[in-house]
Amino acid sequence: MILKSKLGIGLFLISISFFGVYTLNPDGPNRILINLLTFAGIYAISAMGLNVHFGLTGLINFGHAAFMGVGAYTTILLIPHAAGREGSLNESGLPLLLAIVIGLIASALFGLIIGLPAIRLRGDYLAIVTIASSEIFRLTVRDQEEFTGGVYGVISFSDSFQNKRPKFVENLALILDVSVGQLWVAISSWVIVVLLFFILKRLQHSPWGRTLRAVREDEDAVRALGKNAVWIKLQSFMLGASIAGLSGILLAFNYGTLQVEMFVPLLTFYIWAIMILGGVGSLSGPVFGSILFWSFISETDQLASLIFENADGQQIAGVRFMLVGILIIILMVFRPSGIMGKKEELLLDVK
Amino acid sequence: MIDQLGNGLLLGIIIAMASVALSLLYGVTRIVNFAHGEIIALGAIMASYFSNPRTSRYIFFEDLSPIGLSFEISIVLAIFICGLFGALLEVLVFRPLRKNDFGNIAVLVITIGISIFLRHFFLIFASSKPQGYPLELQRREQYFIFDLTPRDAKLIVFGVIIMIIFGLFISFTKVGKQMRAVRDSNELANISGINSDNIILYTWILSSMLAGAAGIFQGMINDVRWNMGFLILLLVFAGTVLGGIGTSFGAMVGGFLIGIVVQVSVALPFMEGHSEAKNAIALSLMIFILLVRPQGIFGKKERIS
């Protein structure tokens, strides 16, 4: 019964925010809605990965942006692309699906590399190590210009993804009057969200998933029962990392370009806000959280430009981020379990 | 490598000041304060707001011109405001949280929220343009083996004096001793008749003032930016963790080391042309230290896994 009412609250809030999008943007609401849903889908995937870390296992990961980045960079650099200042096209490349699989494995391995030293540390130390690792990743990618394109980024890689597009997407895009490319990214990411939801649901109720939650609740008890708690935490870290990698790949295809500045620590905090808003430890939480978060964000910009008349674009965006900060504070103080989460499943204190 | 040592010393003293402040706060309150960087930036931005002449090209909050006080008064005012701000944070946010038994992960996430809020408030207040102080340019001179401007040399001296005063304060004054007592055991301190709420308030004020001073120093050797606090925050964390989080002397040494490593690593042979990645070296050093000696160089052994 409680679950049903929570679902009701979630759906109610989402309908309100969609209504808001339609009334605030009378001309071309479809375009804005598809844009919103694309980002919501991609960030929902990422938040699902973070939820495996924090919600299920209780690992405090502040380096989520780097996991997204590793997946994105590995995949994109393996398919045909153009990188760097000159941006000459590199025609040769692996098929997309193979590249994605390698990207996901790379993300998982990166999770393993960070996890090996860090996972034994107490929660607040883990937070510092993961955020530091994510900055090391970002600075390294930025620095290795001949390989990753550095600050100039990577472009011209969308074709590998867009030529997999089925015919019906084009017709649908014509009807809705939206960009075909983005619609295809949106559809792909929401299909992945649904698939991931069912996979994680199975996993959560499997013996493995129960062990994860047992690690979160009482690591010593798990050890006493003969399970290798460190290895289980590492597995969770790798699984969450490769889910994040997948969302990173989709994010790159959505932008059509890959910039290292996409993976700043602020991205990690976005995903945290989404996870907390939706509900830590709940499987559908990240999905609801993501849609609400992006509706909230897309509606604040207009509000901000009304308040500050002379502000430049960056300052307008600043208002949005200020609101994200307030959102995190208010949620954490008044409703740390978010919309869908259960309070008793929340790990807010390290032992 | 030698010519980078002066810069390393300069950055080292700044990071040491900020690290000591962060470490003291962690020791007394157990808060991993991600908003520490924003207090650093607050000091720098406030000093820039007070000191620049009214007619300068810096505009705050759309059409607010700077105040145009003398630089010395501006520094004092800015540090005072930082202390006040720390006190406000404690009284309005962290004391109620402590009274309601919020877990330390919840508090950590709240400090992140505060950090994001404040950083973008600074973006709106001070705009995205890098700013500076009304100081004349100076030529570099030779001090012993260090290559510094006279102002940089003065900063190092002032930094050392501030650290010494801080050390004396924490070691010999009553409040300092009480801070260390609360750090070692909050309950025992309470039993001995120490009002730990007051001590935590003083800790917030002291920590914020030190952070603000570090921010002003950083603004003087570089420029003042809305996101300068976040840029330096991870180095401050690295310094704190390197020396041992919760310690004062350790954090100071760790901060110095991190500052020197960051600047000197530019001169390493394999870093040629990769100066952008210098922070990555310092952060890797921190992770390495956590691997081999998780409590930091000067930290006491405690359970951190």
Q: Report the SS3 class of residue B224.
A: strand
pLDDT reading at A21 higher than 80: no
Q: Please give the pLDDT value at position A271.
A: 95
Q: Is-contact A260 A142, C-beta < 8 A?
A: yes
In this structure, are strands A154-155 and A81-83 parallel, antiparallel, or unpaired?
antiparallel
* Domain assignment of residue A319, yes or no: no
Counted domains in chain A = 1
Q: What is the mean pLDDT of the segment spanning B49-63?
A: 86
Sheet holding A81-83, edge to edge: A89-90, A81-83, A154-155
- The minimum CA-CA distance between A174 and chain B, rounded to whole Å, is 39
Cβ contact, residue pair A127, B120, below 8 Å: no
The confidence band for B207, taking pLDDT boundaries of 50, 70 and 90, is very high
Q: Please give the pLDDT value at position A52.
A: 94
Which one of A120-124, A238-242, A276-280, B138-142 scores highest in mean pLDDT?
A: A238-242
Specify the higher pLDDT residue, A4 or B101: B101
A315: chain B residues, CB-CB within 8 Å: 123-124, 127-128
Q: Which amino acid is at B74?
A: S
Cβ of B280 under 8 Å from any chain A Cβ?
A: yes
Selecting from A123, A132, A326 the residue whose C-beta is nearest the C-beta of B283 gives A132
> Which architecture characterizes domain B2-292 according to CATH?
Orthogonal Bundle (1.10)
Structure tokens of A160? Answer: 């590998």
Q: What is the mean pLDDT of the segment spanning A221-247?
A: 93
Q: Please give the pLDDT value at position A4.
A: 62
The confidence band for B224, taking pLDDT boundaries of 50, 70 and 90, is very high
The confidence band for A350, taking pLDDT boundaries of 50, 70 and 90, is low
Q: Please give the pLDDT value at position B302.
A: 64
Q: What is the mean pLDDT of the segment spanning B23-48?
A: 94
* Domain assignment of residue A275, yes or no: no
Q: Please give the pLDDT value at position A351.
A: 47
pLDDT reading at A94 higher than 70: yes
Please count the other Cβ atoms lying within 10 Å of the Cβ belonging to residue A53.
Answer: 29
pLDDT reading at A268 higher than 90: yes
B114: chain A residues, CB-CB within 8 Å: 325, 329
Q: What is the mean pLDDT of the segment spanning B151-160?
A: 92
Chain B residues 68-107 with a CB less than 8 Å from chain A? 97, 102-106
pLDDT reading at B267 higher than 70: yes
Q: Report the SS3 class of residue A90.
A: strand
The answer to ipTM > 0.95 is no
Cβ contact, residue pair A132, B286, below 8 Å: yes
Structure tokens of B254? Answer: 């760790």
- Could you tell me the residue range of the domain that residue A33 belongs to? 28-264
- The minimum CA-CA distance between B114 and chain A, rounded to whole Å, is 6
Q: How far is CA B111 from CA A99, B115, B231, B241, B271, in A?
A: 39, 6, 16, 18, 35
Specify the higher pLDDT residue, A197 or A14: A197
Q: What is the mean pLDDT of the segment spanning A165-183?
A: 88
Cβ contact, residue pair A318, B118, below 8 Å: no
Which one of A142-156, A167-181, B78-92, B289-303 scores highest in mean pLDDT?
A: B78-92
Q: How far apart are CA A94 and CA B299, in angstroms?
A: 50
pLDDT reading at B158 higher than 80: yes
Q: Is-contact A63 A266, C-beta < 8 A?
A: no
pLDDT digits (tens, 9 = 90+) for B90-103: 999 999 999 998 88
* Domain assignment of residue A144, yes or no: yes
pLDDT reading at B66 higher than 60: yes
- The minimum CA-CA distance between B236 and chain A, rounded to whole Å, is 11
* Domain assignment of residue A302, yes or no: no
A117: chain B residues, CB-CB within 8 Å: 287, 290-291
What are the respective helix, strand and coil percentages of chain B, to the nearest 5?
A: 70, 5, 25
Choose from A143, A280, A330, A334 for mutation: most chain B CBs within 10 A. A143
Cβ contact, residue pair A328, B110, below 8 Å: yes
Selecting from B106, B108, B305 the residue whose C-beta is nearest the C-beta of A127 gives B108
Q: How far is CA A304 from CA A23, B79, B102, B121, in A?
A: 17, 31, 32, 13
The per-residue pLDDT of chain B, averaged, comes to: 89
Chain B residues 21-60 with a CB less than 8 Å from chain A? 32
Selecting from B114, B123, B287 the residue whose C-beta is nearest the C-beta of A133 gives B287
pLDDT reading at A115 higher than 80: yes
pLDDT reading at A156 higher than 50: yes
* Domain assignment of residue A85, yes or no: yes
The per-residue pLDDT of chain A, averaged, comes to: 87
A220: chain B residues, CB-CB within 8 Å: none
Q: Please give the pLDDT value at position A11.
A: 83
B33: chain A residues, CB-CB within 8 Å: none
Q: Report the SS3 class of residue A258.
A: strand
% of chain B with per-residue pLDDT over 70: 97
Lowest mean pLDDT across A118-132, A307-321, B233-247: A307-321
Q: What is the mean pLDDT of the segment spanning B148-152?
A: 87
In this structure, are strands A89-90 and B146-148 parallel, antiparallel, or unpaired?
unpaired
Among chain B residues, CA nearest to A337? B106
Which helix (H) or strand (E) segment holds residue B148: the answer is strand B146-148
Cβ of A155 under 8 Å from any chain B Cβ?
A: no
Q: Which amino acid is at A161?
A: F
Choose from B104, B107, B290, B291 for mutation: most chain A CBs within 10 A. B290
Lowest mean pLDDT across A88-92, B84-88, B110-114, B194-198: A88-92
Q: Please give the pLDDT value at position A1.
A: 45
pLDDT reading at A187 higher than 50: yes
Helices (H) and strands (E) in chain B, counts: 12, 2
Q: What is the mean pLDDT of the segment spanning B176-201?
A: 91
* Domain assignment of residue A127, yes or no: yes
Cβ contact, residue pair A135, B283, below 8 Å: yes
| Sign, CA torsion A284/A290/A293/A296 | negative
* Domain assignment of residue A351, yes or no: no
Q: Is-contact A176 A183, C-beta < 8 A?
A: yes
